[in-house]
Amino acid sequence: MTRLRRFFAGDGDCLDGDKIVLYEEFAHISRVLRMKAGDRLIVCFNDGRDCECEIESFDKDCVRLKILSVSCCAAENDVGVTLFQGLIKGERMDWCLQKAVELGADEIRPFVGRNTVAEADFKKIERFNRIAKEASKQCGRAFVTEVKEAVRLRELPRFFGDFDLVLLCNEHESQKTLSDALDGRLQLTRVAVIVGSEGGFETEEINLLVDAGAVSVSLGRRVLRAETAGLYALSVLNERLNNRKI
């Protein structure tokens, strides 16, 4: 069975009954993909639903669709996860963001610590969000993962109140694993994962985050790269916290 292409409706797009008018994706649908009347696709309104649609017609700046069916997207997790990712130098950050979306992160906030090598270029956030949107399409998400503006590590504790559990991935932790921290926690709705950049964390930074409520956890016996540590943690969370059967 052919997998239908997925698009996210933007602020300027219209939903009226069983009709959708897309403006933002018009060029992509008509000129890049060369789709035509009668073709089917999925449209998401960032509300957890998949709208299967059929193209009815094209105007000079929009495509008109008819909704055939609406269903809940099965790709979303039961527990919301935010990844606080230390900025990584070069294209590895792009790759990390893409894979984090695929593994279910619904929000990503880059941060800068004492040992961060990459510069905090706030202009990159727009590009990061384009990467996240394309990854959300590719992996069948119903929501576009949002990449927030980068902050300093010392600012992270102000976000902790939004979560039931904040996990600090710490290569020096020897007492508690990620799985240990999840044992017995059955009522979680939002979880945060903090992963450092290439240089890791200073002791003072670890103490700051733990004192603010983060739980220091080990990701195993091996030292993981900055771009893979968060992905490992997300994979464990997917397995342990999401109860929906495939």
Contacts 24+ apart (CB under 8 A), 154-159: 154/208, 155/111, 156/84, 156/111, 156/194, 156/209, 156/212, 157/208, 157/209, 157/212, 157/213, 159/82, 159/84, 159/109, 159/192
CATH topology of domain 6-72: Ribosomal Protein L25; Chain P (2.40.240)
Q: How far apart are CA 85 and CA 101, in angstroms?
A: 13
Q: How far apart are CA 32 and CA 51, in angstroms?
A: 22
Domain-by-domain residue ranges, the chain?
6-72, 80-241
Q: Is the pTM of this model over 0.85?
A: yes
Q: What is the number of other CB atoms lying within 10 angstroms of the CB of residue 75?
A: 18
The residues facing 82 across adjacent strands are: 107, 192
pLDDT tens for the chain, residues 1 to 246: 578 999 998 888 888 889 999 998 999 999 999 999 999 999 998 888 899 999 999 999 999 999 999 998 888 888 999 999 999 988 999 999 999 999 999 999 999 998 887 776 667 889 999 999 999 999 989 899 999 999 999 999 999 999 999 999 998 888 899 989 988 887 899 999 999 998 889 999 999 999 999 999 998 888 889 999 999 999 999 888 875 443
Q: Which CATH number does 80-241 carry? A: 3.40.1280.10
